[in-house]
Structure 1
Amino acid sequence: MDDAVRLESLTKTYGAVTVLRDIRVSFPKGSFTAVMGPSGSGKSTLLQCAAALDRPSSGRVIIDGTDVAGLNETRLTEFRRESTGFVFQAFNLLPSLTAEQNVALPVRLAGRRPDGRAVREALARVGLEAKARSRPSQLSGGQQQRVAVARALVTRPAVLFADEPTGALDLATGRELLDVLRKLVDDGLTTIVMVTHDPNVASYADRVLFLADGRLAGELTAPTSEAVAARMTGATC
């Protein structure tokens, strides 16, 4: 199995509204994919279905060889904790916990004792091993988001999903975070699927998928920010 995630004929409806229509796409292991499209195109819904946070109305979602449709809610929760990581635009750190305690939280929620070495390694991967005992209020926004990335990495997931991870960061801090994400993929540590609206952010990916009206509307490989911006404005690139 060379795909970290595979979507087969995925459709998602809410009442009479169809948000995703017959999506068929694979995300190879060790790849970095950005998903883009105008507001309402279905980007976040695609990410949530691909991450097994939401169930499709029809079709299949296969993560690391497992068809998640066959899992009950309890097993699905366990599977997400073990095989996927998720980074949101909001950092979602607990203010009363240190960086290392926040990183260890998914393991504790799974009812296991955190491995201190794995926690320190996750923080080192995002360049924050020296901030292990700092609380969120003592960290910059970019550092808090890197703690959130470390938290998503601590279980060594097969795939890391990110929804506008730089949305709350300034340009320079956002680039630092993207450098971290790029290195995680280049070092073979995970697969990343990221939603963004920013062509500069998308240029860090290996491939950009474009959505329009709930359907796949093309892709770019080895994207540049200029090529992505041209595609988003309807120009030929």
Structure 2
Amino acid sequence: MTTHAVQLTAVSRRYGAGGTGVTALDDVTLAFPRGSFTAVMGPSGSGKSTLLQCAAGLDRPTSGSVRIGGTELTGLGERRLTLLRRARIGFVFQSYNLLPSLTAEQNVALPLRLAGRRPSRARVRAALAEVGLAGRADHLPARLSGGQQQRVALARALITRPEVLFGDEPTGALDSTTARGVLALLRALVDDEGQTVVMVTHDPVAASAADRVVFLVDGRVHDELSAPDAETVAARTVSLESRTATGAVAC
């Protein structure tokens, strides 16, 4: 078993061709150690979401290598890539992406059903209990608050016990109190269960829950912070945004 849960080597992603093409990622080499919590930040258009999607196998890089554990993703066919994502990758979106006609329990069980496995009711309810929703299993999403819906989405992402949990602004639609609760859950998953978490965020407070922060600028890794605190992250973010606006950032 490798020490890194995810490795990107010289990854580039370009959309379009010729003079109208856009390079979203530019020769990115980055590793995410097992059992770590990494936040990815950067100005708008810096390539954060593209990085996450390429790392999770949701998008294919134009060039370079992406590995989950010891498995190279970039050469896999669509069927094998889909099976790998279902078995080894969890993804949490800002918009929750719950099916409104399914209960919380049914939403959580969905990844197992899609994988052709019969979900154990006890296992699904244990996943809901883990995120503090033991009494909400039979509720439809419309009867849950935003924070509760995000917790259901988190339980759904964790039900397969993925090697890596990716989050694309998972607290972006939540109020500050609810966001702190979700971040505490993510932190506990890393500390208590050795889960690997990679999260895109624009919020310095959210980023401060991570072990390190990776800053992207113009599709490249510009800087990192270890053991971040919210004030330092905020100052670094403001500095990058102001230097980007004046064209002073060199990557």
TM-score in same-fold range (> 0.5) = yes
Q: Determine the structure 2 residue equivalent to 1:71.
A: 76
Distance 2:166 2:239 in 1: 27
For the residue of structure 1 that corresponds to 2:190, the secondary structure is helix
Q: Determine the structure 1 residue equivalent to 2:246.
A: none
Q: Determine the structure 2 residue equivalent to 1:13.
A: 14
Q: Determine the structure 2 residue equivalent to 1:180.
A: 185
How do 1:200-215 residues align onto structure 2 when only pairs under 5 Å count?
200-215=205-220
Q: Determine the structure 1 residue equivalent to 2:200.
A: 195
- TM-fit CA distance, 1:115: 2.2
How do 1:45-124 residues align onto structure 2 when only pairs under 5 Å count?
45-124=50-129
Q: Determine the structure 1 residue equivalent to 2:157.
A: 152
Instruction: From 132, 137, 142, give the equivalent of 2:147.
Output: 142
Q: Deviations over 1:74-123 (max 9, x none)?
A: 01000000000000000111122111110000111122211223212211
Q: Determine the structure 2 residue equivalent to 1:3.
A: 4
Distance 2:150 2:160 in 1: 17
Runs of 4+ in 1 over 6 A off after TM superposition: none
Q: Determine the structure 2 residue equivalent to 1:31.
A: 36
Q: Deviations over 1:61-81 (max 9, x none)?
A: 001211012211001000000
For the residue of structure 2 that corresponds to 1:130, the secondary structure is coil
The TM-score with structure 1 as length reference comes to: 0.97
Checking the alignment, whether the CA contact within 8 Å between 2:93 and 2:169 is kept in structure 1 is yes
The TM-score with structure 2 as length reference comes to: 0.91
Identity of aligned residues (%): 65
- TM-fit CA distance, 1:189: 4.5
Amino acid at match of 2:3: D
Amino acid at match of 1:233: V
Q: Deviations over 1:134-169 (max 9, x none)?
A: 111221110010000000000000000000011111
Checking the alignment, whether the CA contact within 8 Å between 2:213 and 2:226 is kept in structure 1 is yes
Distance 2:157 2:194 in 1: 12
Distance 1:94 1:209 in 2: 32
Checking the alignment, whether the CA contact within 8 Å between 2:131 and 2:185 is kept in structure 1 is yes
- Gap runs ≥5 in structure 2: 241-251
- Gap runs ≥5 in structure 1: none
Checking the alignment, whether the CA contact within 8 Å between 2:36 and 2:194 is kept in structure 1 is no
Distance 1:55 1:90 in 2: 23
